[in-house]
Amino acid sequence: MTVGGWRSARVVEAEQATPSARILRLQVPGWPGNDAGQHVDVRLTAEDGYQAVRSYSLGSYGTAETVELAVDEVPDGEVSPYLVRDVLPGDELEVKGPLGGYFVWRPGGQARVQLIAGGSGIVPLMAIVRAVTDAGAAASVRLLYSVRSPEDAIYREELERLTGSGGAELTWRYTREAPEGWTGPVGRLDEHGLEAAAWSPDSEPITYVCGPTGFVEHVADALVGLGHSPARVKTERFGGA
Amino acid sequence: MRAENAASVVDGNAAAGMLWDVFGADVTALIGVCGGCGDASHLAEAVVEIDESAAIVRCRACTHTLFTVLRDGDGVRLVIGVLHEVVRP
């Protein structure tokens, strides 16, 4: 049922992804499909009628009526603790979308693609990795994924699998704690890290950066400082410093 | 994606739903030209302060308010600020 753009959605699966994040699969009858990188607004209604709306990126793309969100808990949040801790398969909520026509990837372009995620900013980029893999375009794609520690990486296993031989190239950045045997740098992603792992400015990639506001600002500024055209750097920020 | 402060600072991507309610289409991929400083950027890139009742959309270059989207009961209202031009690239 669709009322004012809101569609009923039923939780069909809830999978713990990290100690603070869950992947939710929602069945949305009549879902028109979505491009990789788009998001939905999710609306919860309490018994007393109080409603809360939040935006969540989709980790899924395509025409299936089951869509996927990955939600990281915001301490003291109003919506995410419910979605991460409490919601169960069979529960109902509402979604509006697909939303967003800017931070999307569609097949057909020739440009190299650089994806840069901070924390749960991986979600729309996961949809893009899945889409480029299915489109046979993964060889032109690199992903740089910054996480505090290995256990904080949403989609770790799938990313390791999809970015194996012939797939997109994956570089991890650990900001606080690296896995045993890690020989790379640990700490905030900086210009050296971007230079080492990202497509160079002269190859004119399209770059997608998603993460907390501070992360995105820092990375976007560093990319422009390295010579990337601001017009080819697409950004999506969520709350936080 | 929106953090859960009373009013959180995100970007124009997160205002896509409210703007959809105004225009019946996605407008975040359009370019907004700021009448304050002349900056021309995708609306998705604008600074957005958003809560349950409003989204304040500001120029990322000069911070002037381009426009505000207000929820008004079941309706929604867009109040133009210094937004000067909208361009489909």
Domain locations along chain B: 8-87
| Bridge partners, A15 (sequence order) | A23
Per-residue confidence (pLDDT) for residue B2, from 0 to 100? 46
Q: Is residue A174 part of a domain?
A: yes
**Contact by Cβ (8 Å): A119, B44:** no
Distances in Å between the Cα of A208 and the Cα atoms of A48, A141, B27 are 40, 11, 19
Distances in Å between the Cα of B8 and the Cα atoms of A109, B51, B54 are 34, 7, 11
Amino acid occupying residue B58 = R
Mutate one of A94, A106, A229, A237 to test the B interface: name it (highest B CB count within 10 A). Answer: A237
Q: Is the dihedral of CA A215, A155, A140, A98 positive or negative?
A: negative
Contacts of A66 (CB under 8 A, 6+ apart): A12, A25, A26, A27, A28, A60
Residues A81 and A135 in one domain: no
Q: Is residue A34 part of a domain?
A: yes
Across the interface, whether the CB atoms of A57 and B1 are under 8 A apart is answered: yes
d(CA A235, CA B13): 9
How far does the CA of residue A197 sit from the closest CA of chain B (Å)? 25
Residues A129 and A95 in one domain: no
- Across the interface, which of A4, A76, A235 has its CB nearest the CB of B11? A235
Q: Is pLDDT at B23 greater than 70 in this prediction?
A: yes
- Across the interface, which of B4, B21, B52 has its CB nearest the CB of A77? B4
* Nearest chain B residue (CA) to A231: B41
Cite the DSSP H helix spans in chain A: 80-81, 122-134, 156-162, 191-197, 213-225
Across the interface, whether the CB atoms of A41 and B28 are under 8 A apart is answered: no
Contacts of A34 (CB under 8 A, 6+ apart): A58, A60, A61, A62, A67, A97, A98
pLDDT digits (tens, 9 = 90+) for A60-71: 999 999 999 999
pLDDT confidence bin for A3, thresholds 50/70/90: low
Reduce the DSSP state of residue A239 to 3 states and report it. coil
Q: Is the dihedral of CA A225, A172, A100, A85 positive or negative?
A: negative
Residues A121 and A32 in one domain: no
User: Nearest 5°: CA angle at B45, between B39 and B50?
Assistant: 115
Q: Is pLDDT at B25 greater than 60 in this prediction?
A: yes
Residues A148 and A223 in one domain: yes
ipTM score: 0.91
**Contact by Cβ (8 Å): B32, B83:** yes
pLDDT digits (tens, 9 = 90+) for A137-152: 999 999 999 999 999 9
Q: Is residue A106 part of a domain?
A: no
Residues A52 and A126 in one domain: no
Residue A187: CATH number of its domain = 3.40.50.80
Residues A133 and A216 in one domain: yes
Domain containing A232 equals 113-238
pLDDT digits (tens, 9 = 90+) for A80-122: 999 999 999 999 999 999 999 999 999 998 899 999 999 999 9
Q: Which of B20, B64, B52 is nearest to A44 (CA)?
A: B52
Residues A231 and A117 in one domain: yes
Residues A147 and A95 in one domain: no
* Nearest chain A residue (CA) to B31: A102
Chain B residues inside the 8 Å CB shell of A123:
1
The pTM of the full predicted model, rounded to 2 decimals, is: 0.95
- Across the interface, which of A57, A96, A103 has its CB nearest the CB of B17? A96
A77 contacts chain B (CB < 8 A):
yes
Q: Is residue A119 part of a domain?
A: yes
Distances in Å between the Cα of A39 and the Cα atoms of A55, A59, A60 are 7, 9, 10
Residues A91 and A118 in one domain: no
Cis peptide before A98 (omega within 30 of 0): yes
Q: Length of chain A in residues, anyone?
A: 241
Contacts of B60 (CB under 8 A, 6+ apart): B39, B41, B45, B46, B47
Number of domains observed in the structure of chain A: 2
Q: Count interface pairs A-B at CB distance under 8 A.
A: 89
More confident residue, A43 or B52: A43
Last residue of a domain, one of A77, A99, A121: A99
